[in-house]
């Protein structure tokens, strides 16, 4: 048995309804109340998504998943295919399973893939990645009065993010892949 304080993104919980992947989690202390962990979990057999809140002292069963370093190969109609460089074994995750993370994948890059009983269930990207700005508007003079003004920029691969107005086309910026937000100039 494990404690709910060990809950984090990518772990798998087992309960009588089956195996659940933790997709999101957040510690919450409602106005001077006890401590809880609010989660969004996805059933690995049925794909059903539930929002469940646990008390932090509650016991849960966390099942062991394997973390493997893999190389991203290509994307096609079946989804995203990765290869284990040690065993040359290939696995494919569907577009739905990869979700928004897919936009950050670049051919040949290394990622962590969690597998359960040989099946890929979750993808972990480097938290910070560098991208080149392919398109953004030039800064407009006099538009700085109200503080951190941002503008939209398109990154290589077509990702759109908000960047500070001083960022120019052709510059490289660091993006937080968990939040999709601009971090700093590369």
Give residues in contact with another protein (CB under 8 A). 15, 26-36, 38, 50-55, 57-58, 145-148, 179, 181
What residues have CB less than 8 Å from 48, skipping those under 6 apart? 42
Residue 85, SS3?
Answer: coil
Query: Closest approach of Cβ 6 to another protein, in Å?
Result: 14
Q: Is 164:149 a contact under the CB 8 Å cutoff? A: yes
Q: Is 173:186 a contact under the CB 8 Å cutoff? A: yes
Query: Closest approach of Cβ 151 to another protein, in Å?
Result: 14
- How crowded is the C-beta side of 26, counted as CA atoms within 13 Å? 7
Query: Closest approach of Cβ 150 to another protein, in Å?
Result: 9
Q: Which is nearer to another protein, 80 or 177 (CB)?
A: 177
Residue with tokens 């979750």: 122
Query: Closest approach of Cβ 116 to another protein, in Å?
Result: 21
Paired strand residues for 40:
24, 51
Query: Closest approach of Cβ 146 to another protein, in Å?
Result: 6
Q: Which is nearer to another protein, 59 or 87 (CB)?
A: 59
Q: What is the separation of C-alpha 180 from the centre of its chain, rounded to a whole number of angstroms?
A: 9
Q: Which is nearer to another protein, 24 or 95 (CB)?
A: 24
Q: Which is nearer to another protein, 7 or 113 (CB)?
A: 7
Q: Which is nearer to another protein, 42 or 68 (CB)?
A: 42
- Kind and range of the H or E run holding 97: helix 95-98
Tokens, residue 180? 């999709």
């Amino acid at each position: 048995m494990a404690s709910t304080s060990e809950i984090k993104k990518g772990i798998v919980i087992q309960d009588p309804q089956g195996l659940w992947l933790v997709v999101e989690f957040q510690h919450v202390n409602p106005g001077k109340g006890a401590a809880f962990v609010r989660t969004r979990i996805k059933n690995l057999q049925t794909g059903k998504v539930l929002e469940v809140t646990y008390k932090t002292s509650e016991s849960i069963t966390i099942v062991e998943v394997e973390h493997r370093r893999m190389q991203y190969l290509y994307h096609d109609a079946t989804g995203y295919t990765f290869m284990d460089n040690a065993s040359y074994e290939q696995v494919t995750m569907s577009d739905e399973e990869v979700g928004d993370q897919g936009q950050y994948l670049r051919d040949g890059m290394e990622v962590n893939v969690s597998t359960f009983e040989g099946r890929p269930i979750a993808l972990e990207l480097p938290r910070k990645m560098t991208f080149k700005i392919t398109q953004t508007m030039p800064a407009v003079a006099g538009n700085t009065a109200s503080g951190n003004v941002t503008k939209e920029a398109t990154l290589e691969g077509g990702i759109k993010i908000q960047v500070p107005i001083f960022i120019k086309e052709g510059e490289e910026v660091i993006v937080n892949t968990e939040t999709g937000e601009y971090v700093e100039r590369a």
